[in-house]
Chains A and B, each alone.
Chain A
C-alpha cells in the first residue's frame, strides 16, 4: 500500500496546519500588541525560534525575515532617529537631532517586524498549501472554495513564469526593456495585454477541464489524505489562543505591568 500522505521532513512539518497557523498568529498578534523589547524577545526565543529549529528551517526563515525586514527597518530608522523628539541627543545632522529615544523606537519596531516576518516564514516553509486546504475541507469548508484557494496560491509562480515568457516574446520583436527608464515604461503595455488575455484563456481552459473532472459535484468528498490532528495539538492551540487573549485583556486593562 503506497503512502497517500506526502512525506514530511520533520515532526514540526507534520503538525496540523491549524496548529502551525495558531503559533504564527499568536506570535504575530502578541508581538504587535505588546510593543517594547521584552515580550517580542520572549515570543521569539520561546515560540518562533524553537519551531524553526525543530523544523530545520532556521537559516532559510531568518534569511527571508531579514530580507523582508531590512527595507522597512531602514525607512523607520531614518524617520525615527532623526525625527523623534527626545532629550538624549546622540549627534546632529544639519537641522536634525538624532536622539537615543529615536534609536530605541526604531530598534523596537525592527525587532517586532523581524519576529512577525520570522513567524510567518516558519509557517510558510513548513506548511504545504494543499495540506492547509485539505485540513480546511475536512473541517467543512466547501471543496470549491478550498480548491480555489490552493489554485490561487499555486497561480502566483505560474503567473510570474507567464509574465517572463511574454516579456521575452516582446523583446524578441525588438521591444527594448534594457534601455532607459522611459523605454522600460513604454514596454509595459505590450506585456499587460497578453498577460491578461493568456491568463483569461488559461482560466477558461482549466475551468472546462476541471468541470470535465466533476469539480462541480455538490456534496462531501473522501480525501486521499488530510493532515493528522490530535487532542494534544487541540489543547496547545487553545492554550496559545487563551494566553494571547489573557495577555491582550491584561495589557488593555492595565492588570499586567508594562514591560520594557
Chain B
C-alpha cells in the first residue's frame, strides 16, 4: 500500500506550500483518480507520491510517504525503483534518445539497476506483454504514434517493477483511440496488482478506471470518494454569456483547397488530394488521429508548407508566391506547443509581438493587446514573465497573441490540450465571440467535448484525405455541480 500521511510539500525557492495536509492511501491493484483545476497540486502530488519530490526535485517535505509501511524519506531516485514510478504527460520528454529500438528504450531503467542481462530481458518482455505492445519491440521509439509512445513510456517504468505508479495526465496529448489504448492498458496493469494514481481532467475516463477520485484545490484534497460522488471542478467561465451564434450565411470563402497534396522531403505523402472550402465566419473543427495530416494541412494555409500540387486560396487570394509574413495578416495560427513561440519578458510584450508585426494600426495596438489578455483571463498578469505562468496559462497566452493580431481567420492547433474545464470553457467563449464578430475559426482538436460545444462543422482527416465533412451534433456541456 502507498500511503501519504499529512503530507505538505514546498518547492525549492518558494515560500508557499504546493501541498498542504494531504492524506491518501492507494492499495495494491487499486486505481485512484486525481482531478482538479490546473495549479491545484495534481502534478506535485504525483511527484511526491512517487518520491521524486524531494528526492530529485529538492524542496521541503512534511509528513510521511510510505510504501508497505516503509518511508521513502531519504531515498535517492534510483532507490525508489521497485517501490514507485512516475509517468509524465509528454511521452517524448521521457524518451532517452539513446535507444534505437523500443526494446532498448523499455530496458533502459532495468539496465540502470545493474540487473543481469537475462533478468533485464525477462522484465522488458514482461512489460511489453503486460501492455500488449510486444509487436513494437523492434520499432524506433521516435517513430511511434502518440498512444504507442505513451505505452512505451509506461512499459519503461514497469520494467523496473514498481509496486505503485503515478501517471500525470497520461492521455492529455492523445487522440480518442490512443486514449482508449492507454486506458485499457492501465486497467490490465491494475489487475496485476500495481497500484495506480492517475491525474486526469477527463472525469468520464476516470469513472471507467478508478475506484475512487480525489479532487484537489489549492494543494489540498477538496473531495474524495467514488467517481459518481466527485463531480470535479466546475466550469466557471460565463457559458450563459456565450453570444448567440447563428449559422453564418455563406457569403465569402475564407479558405479554399483544391486538389491539395503535400509530400514530405522523404517522399511520405501527408496530404492527398484535399478539396475543402470554408466560408467566412464558419467555426470548423478538424479531427483525426495523430499523424492524419491535420497540422500539415493548416501549415499549407499560411505558407509554412508549400503544396506539392493543388492550390490554396485564403480570402480569395492564392497563397502561391506570398510570404508567410504577408499571409499572417489574413490568418493567425497558434502552435500546439506554446513554448515554441513565447519569447518576450512580459505577457504584454508577448501578445503585442504578432499584433505589432501584422495587426492593428499603432494606435489600436494597446487596445488589441488588452482585449486579448482580457479574453484569456490574463489581464492581471500583463507584466508577468510568461515562464512564471503554468503550462495551461502559457497556452492561453499563445492564444491571446494570435487574437491580438485581429486576423479575419484564426486557426488553433489543439487549443484545449491540458486545460482544465474552466479554462476550456473560456476558449469556447472565445471561439463563439470570434464567430459572432464574423471571423472564421478553425481548430485542430482531439477534444470531442470541445467540438460539440464550440463548432458547427467537423472535418475528419485520415491518411491525408478528408473522409467526412458534416454538421456537428451538439454535445451538451457537462452540468456544473451547482445544478446537480
Binding site for B on A (CB under 8 A): 2, 4, 6, 128-130, 133, 143, 147, 150-151, 154-155, 158, 162, 165-166, 168-179, 189-194, 197-198, 201-202, 205-217, 219-224
Contact = CB atoms under 8 A, between A and B. Distances in A.
A213 B160 contact: yes
A170 B108 CA distance: 37
B111 interface: yes
A4 B121 contact: yes
A216 B357 contact: no
B90 A166 contact: no
B341 A214 contact: no
A178 B94 contact: no
B112 A217 contact: yes
Given A150-B98, A172-B324, A222-B117, 14 more contacts: A128-B100, A130-B99, A162-B340, A172-B302, A172-B328, A175-B357, A194-B339, A197-B342, A202-B93, A211-B56, A212-B56, A212-B157, A213-B109, A214-B78
B298 to A, nearest CB: 10
Contacts of B324: 171-172, 176-178
B94 A173 contact: no
B121 A224 contact: yes
Interface residues of B, number: 68
Contacts of B376: none
Nearest to B386: A197
Contacts of B97: 150-151, 154-155, 158, 206
Contacts of A171: 304, 324-325, 328
A40 B56 CA distance: 53
Interface of B: 50, 52, 55-57, 76-78, 80-81, 85-86, 88, 90, 93-94, 96-101, 103-104, 107-109, 111-117, 120-121, 137-138, 156-157, 160, 299, 302, 304, 323-325, 328-329, 332-333, 335, 337, 339-344, 353-354, 357-359, 387, 401-402, 405
24 contacts: A2-B137, A130-B99, A166-B340, A168-B299, A170-B343, A171-B328, A172-B324, A173-B354, A173-B357, A174-B328, A175-B325, A193-B344, A194-B342, A197-B342, A197-B343, A201-B339, A205-B90, A209-B93, A211-B52, A211-B56, A213-B109, A214-B77, A216-B76, A221-B111
A222 B333 contact: no
What is the interface of chain A mostly: helix, strand, loop, or mixed?
A: helix
A43 to B, nearest CB: 32
Contacts of A143: 112
Contacts of A219: 114
A136 to B, nearest CB: 13
A197 B387 contact: yes
Contacts of A147: 96, 98
A169 B304 CA distance: 9
Contact of A214 (B81, B104, B405): B81
A168 B306 CA distance: 13
A4 B101 CA distance: 10
B319 to A, nearest CB: 13
Contacts of B111: 221-224
A177 B328 CA distance: 13
A193 B385 CA distance: 13
Nearest to B331: A172
Nearest to B345: A193
A74 B109 CA distance: 50
B340 A198 contact: yes
Contact of B108 (A4, A194, A213): A213
Contacts of B100: 6, 128, 130
Contacts of B80: 212
A70 B80 CA distance: 55
B283 to A, nearest CB: 20
Contacts of A176: 323-325, 357
Nearest to A198: B339
B304 A190 contact: no
B343 A209 contact: no
A37 B90 CA distance: 55
Most buried by A among B78, B98, B101, B117: B98
A194 B343 contact: yes
Contact of B52 (A177, A194, A212, A224): A212
Contact of B341 (A4, A166, A178, A220): A166
A172 B157 CA distance: 38
A151 to B, nearest CB: 6
Most buried by A among B55, B81, B111: B111
A165 B335 contact: yes
A4 B80 CA distance: 27
B96 A216 contact: no
Contacts of A206: 93-94, 97
Contacts of B359: 174
Nearest to B411: A172
A222 B116 contact: yes
Most buried by B among A147, A165, A201, A221: A221
Nearest to B80: A212
A210 B340 CA distance: 23
A67 B266 CA distance: 21
A214 B157 CA distance: 10
A193 B335 contact: no
Contacts of A179: 323, 325
Contacts of A201: 339
Contacts of A173: 328, 332, 341, 353-354, 357-358, 401-402, 405
Nearest to B358: A174
A129 B120 CA distance: 22
A214 B159 CA distance: 12
A174 B94 contact: no
Contact of A213 (B93, B157, B401): B157
